[in-house]
A and B are shown apart, each in its own frame.
Chain A
Amino acid sequence: MTMDCDAPIGDETLLDYWSGDLAAGEADRIEQHLFACGDCATRLENIAAIGAGIARLAREGRVSGIISRTLLNRMQRDGLHVRFYSLRPGETVPCAAFPGDDLVVASLRADFEGVQTVALKVTGPGDVSFGEVEEASFAREDGEVLWATPGSLVRNMPSTRLRLTLTATGASRRVLGEYLLDHTAADAGL
């Protein structure tokens, strides 16, 4: 019988269940409920659909912004073609996205010793803002921030120079590095 659930499972618990974060006994209890309750099963189905969509976007390289090394490794393992640029502070690197490049990733190298939080600012000619990340994830051991842009997006960009500025925020506020990406448009004959 289709009836309202008298003990609905919270979304947070459904999410924990889906992510494998529940102890075995608790997961079993949730499963018993899900098989007996259409309402909760439908809500889990919605969560699963969003999750499947996110995985699909990642598999297609349709991800923008800061990514972790784990994500990058996974994408490459899944066969994504990644155009990779590594920049040291003060360095200018010519860049472009070629046909077949699914993702363009810039590795911004820096010394994160003593740094707690990092901000990334991306500006174009005339200091026009292309985006800002107030709290960027960084890998202290690897000494890098990875900035990703879908290849299709980069291929459609006109030739331009992008300035990326990494800043340590908080108590130890300082510029960690400025990096220049000299982008050549796809039709400019690199």
Chain B
Amino acid sequence: MQTIADASDGDLARAVANRTTGPAEAAEGELYRRFAPRVRLYGLRHLRDEDAARDLVQHVMLLTIQKLRDGSVRDADQIASFILGASRTASIDLKRRERRREKLRETYIDTGAFAPPADDSMLDIDRLELCLTRLAERERTVVLLTFYAERTADEVARELGASAGNVRVIRHRALARLRKCVASNEAVS
């Protein structure tokens, strides 16, 4: 017997659209569980702000559920594309008109029912600090310029007098080292 976790994205979208009590609610929850983190990532990537990303999640997911319930989503199997499209439109809108966020919250139903997806709070920040000190100096500079100063590889390359390709290699290697170090069980002293 197929469980909700095994259902395809399209099956979930159809269950929501059919509005069968019980399955529809479970399908809405599963759709949210799957797509909210992706919308948040999209928001972080394009809006560069955690609060704005969370607002985007609420708006897009509520809009998606509403459109499914209304029968406005033509092809349930293309629900991922629908959510991406909604994310793009809303993100542009959020950028253009910051104040619109408050309106969106008021417009859509029962925002309290959807908890925002987790952020980086599960990350052991002390461990990451130690791992950062263990990187080679150039690796540390590249990841700081990338993730903190939000510089592209071209911009970092200009600053360090290196090629963009070289910066990308250093960045990739540094991130791999950080992930390995953060995942290791060695105690922080």
Contacts and interface: CB of A to CB of B under 8 A. Distances in A.
Interface in B17-71: 34-35, 37-38, 41-42, 44-45, 50
A134 B182 CA distance: 24
A53 B138 CA distance: 19
B14 interface: no
Given A1-B8, A59-B148, A32 B143 contact: no
Contacts of A84: none
A16 interface: yes
Interface stretch (A38-46, A101-109, A166-174): A38-46
Interface string B110-139: 000000000110110100110011001110
B137 A135 contact: yes
A150 to B, nearest CB: 9
A57 B129 contact: yes
Interface in B70-98: 80-81, 83-84, 87
Contacts of A53: 120, 123, 125, 128
Interface residues of A, number: 50
A1 B12 CA distance: 9
A58 B179 contact: no
Interface stretch (A18-26, A90-98, A181-189): A18-26
Contact of A50 (B5, B136, B182): B182
B172 interface: yes
Interface string A123-148: 00000000001111100000000000
Interface in A14-64: 15-21, 31-32, 34-36, 38, 41-42, 44-59, 62-64
B132 A35 contact: no
B98 to A, nearest CB: 20
B137 A136 contact: yes
A62 B148 CA distance: 12
B7 interface: yes
Interface string B134-175: 001110110111111111111000011000100010011001
B16 interface: no
A20 B152 contact: yes
> Most chain-B Cβ atoms within 10 A of its Cβ — which of A2, A16, A19, A20?
A19
User: Closest 10 A-B residue pairs measured CB to CB?
Assistant: A51-B147, A49-B120, A58-B148, A52-B120, A36-B80, A35-B84, A54-B147, A1-B8, A35-B80, A55-B148
11 contacts: A19-B153, A31-B84, A35-B84, A36-B80, A36-B81, A45-B41, A51-B147, A54-B128, A66-B137, A71-B148, A133-B137
